Structure 1
Amino acid sequence: MSHLIELRDRLIRALLSILIVFLCLFYWAKDLYALLAQPLLASLPQGGQMIATDVVGVFLVPMKVALMVAFLIALPYVLYQAWAFIAPGLYAHEKRLALPLVTTSVLLFFVGMAFAYFLVFPAVFGFMAQIAPEGVAWMTDIDKYLSFVLTSFIAFGVTFEVPVVVIVLVKMGIVELETLQGWRPYIIVAAFVIGAIFTPPDVVSQLFLAVPLCLLYELGLLLARFISKPADKDPDKDHFPAAMD
């Protein structure tokens, strides 16, 4: 029961931190959405603009963006609360492994989001603007644009986690490094399938997701070469001498 109470308290603290940051960002919600929409706005043809087909969309969509930014800002504190809850149940070597992995995972996820925002979005939107037929007003609803951005952020953020996943699989002894190397052809095919599912139906965006996924998988294999499997016995557990005859 005490563990459930502690879990409740830490969840409340994490949610309160997000709420506090959200309230601080509430005033700049429209500016945050304008910043998020900048890659598309820069690629729209002359006179093009974004539209809102929902009555309350002009209010709810900026609020969603502000909430997303608030979560990202409060994420270190949220992760600290999660770490404080699970750390007492971990051995010392598990703590040494978990903390760098969590930190690296968060940083790689942010790098994936930045990659999508600064490289993928301008290229994809510029390509769409060039192939738009003559006489067609290319505009999009702000809510649909937000859904597209969130899907892309999650897809590219998770893609950049591939090296961490490979290292964990090898470190924990779940999969042999040679087995992962043998999966290379299937990973390449899966990368293009994932790119076709989570990106718009154009070659540019699919390549922007599939190629980094393959390269990051190779990076994970390279780093995993320096990772040895854990010992069979836990060094943090008590060892009892064998009984004398």
Structure 2
Amino acid sequence: MAEELDEMTVIEHIKELRKRIIYILIVFVACLIVGLFFANPIYKYLIHAEPAQGFVLHAFSFWDGIGMYMKISMIFSLVVTLPFTIFQLWLFVSPGLRPVERRAALRFVPYVFLLFLLGVAFSYYIVFPMALSFTTSITKSMGLEETYGMAQYFNFMFNIVLPLALLFELPLIVMFLTKIRILNPIRLRKMRRFAYFVLVFVAVVITPPDFISDFLVSIPLLLLFEFSIFLSSVVYRKQLAADSEFEASYTQAAEE
């Protein structure tokens, strides 16, 4: 009987997860259609913005134009859908969380979108121009004629901007895991060397194959990790203070 109840519970969880995924897909497709209307102004802004000035982009296939519009609309849809996706994920996992964990998770949801936008701004306006300047200077120093395809330019940009923007969620994740007492600053400091290795490895994988791009992405990631330790310390100190206050009140009540 217990096995049947567990099986029903698993089936209910699967149905609930399927329902949340369907909701996310519906909103994603709707935002994708809306993104097609915004693809042209976004494209014009990107090619006239500071990093792209001075470049003449070419289409090397008949599908480059429509393919780029579709890619821009997909990224637009991903960004707009992100808060809804996080909220649906919270609705799925919240029944299994304790009240303190549920309040902590819900409090962090709005900051997911803000940190993502901050990561996009940092990677697009700071990291991407540096990487672009370095790679083009190498091309010029080799005496090569510069002929850039629009697909190659935007793929180069997206491969830097999007992964780095997602990694900007690291401090928020660390704060949440500290809040629910899975992580603490002591544990994070002990795993610093391993974390550094993983973050540098990620930076090498997501960036173009040159040392400067790897360096420009690695340094912000390492700083994000150190900032995450700082935020974890703030949360951890508050937890220790709350625990001490609770123990003092409990001891006082026991003595009375």
- Verify same fold: TM over 0.5: yes
1:177 corresponds to which residue? 185
Report the identity percentage. 28
Structure 2, unaligned runs of 5 or more: 1-10, 244-256
The alpha carbon displacement at 1:115 in A equals 0.8
Instruction: Find the partner of 1:118 among 125, 132, 136.
Output: 125
Where relative contact order (Cα < 8 A, 6+ residues apart) is larger, the structure is 1
1:14 to 24, 35, 46: 24
Q: Where do 1:180-199 residues align within 5 Å?
A: 180-199=188-207
2:212 to 186, 198, 204: 204
Q: How many residues align?
A: 228
Kept in 2, the 8 Å contact 1:191–1:211? The answer is no
Query: Residue 17 of structure 2 contacts residue 92 of structure 2 at CA under 8 Å; is this kept in 1?
Result: yes
Distance (Å, rounded) in 2 between the aligned partners of 1:3 and 1:192: 37
| Between 34-43 and 103-112, the greater mean CA deviation after superposition | 34-43
Deviation at 1:223, TM superposition (A): 1.6
* 2:223 paired residue number: 215
Matched AA of 1:16: I
The AA in structure 2 aligned to 1:156 is L
> What does 1:43-82 correspond to in 2, within 5 Å?
43-44=54-55, 49-82=56-89
Instruction: Give the SS at the match of 1:136.
Output: coil
- In structure 2, relative to structure 1, the CA distance for the partners of 1:83 and 1:119 (3 Å cut) is same
How far apart are the structure 1 equivalents of 2:69 and 2:183? Answer: 44
Q: Measure the CA separation in 2 of the matches of 1:14 and 1:202.
A: 37
Match of 2:5 in 1: none
Deviation at 1:156, TM superposition (A): 0.8
1:146 and 2:167 matched: no
Identify if the C-alpha distance between structure 1 residues 181 and 88 changes in structure 2 by more than 3 Å, giving closer, same or farther.
Answer: closer
Q: RMSD of the TM alignment (CA)?
A: 3.0
Shift of 1:8: 3.7
TM-score by length of 1: 0.76
| Richer in helix (by share) | 2
- Which range moved further: 124-133 or 58-67? 124-133
Counterpart code for 2:52: L
Q: Show the counterpart of 1:127.
A: 134
Pairwise CA distance, 1:116: 0.9
TM-score norm. by structure 2 comes to 0.73
Specify every segment of 5 or more residues in structure 1 that has no aligned partner in the other structure, as ranges.
233-245
SS at match of 1:226: helix
Aligned to 2:53: 42
Q: Contact 1:43–1:125 (CA<8 Å) still a contact in 2?
A: no
Taking a change above 3 Å as real, the CA distance of residues 222 and 138 of structure 1, as seen in their structure-2 partners, is same
The offset of 1:3, in angstroms, is: 4.9
Paired residues of 1:43 and 1:122 also in contact (CA < 8 A): no
How far did 1:132 drift?
Answer: 2.3
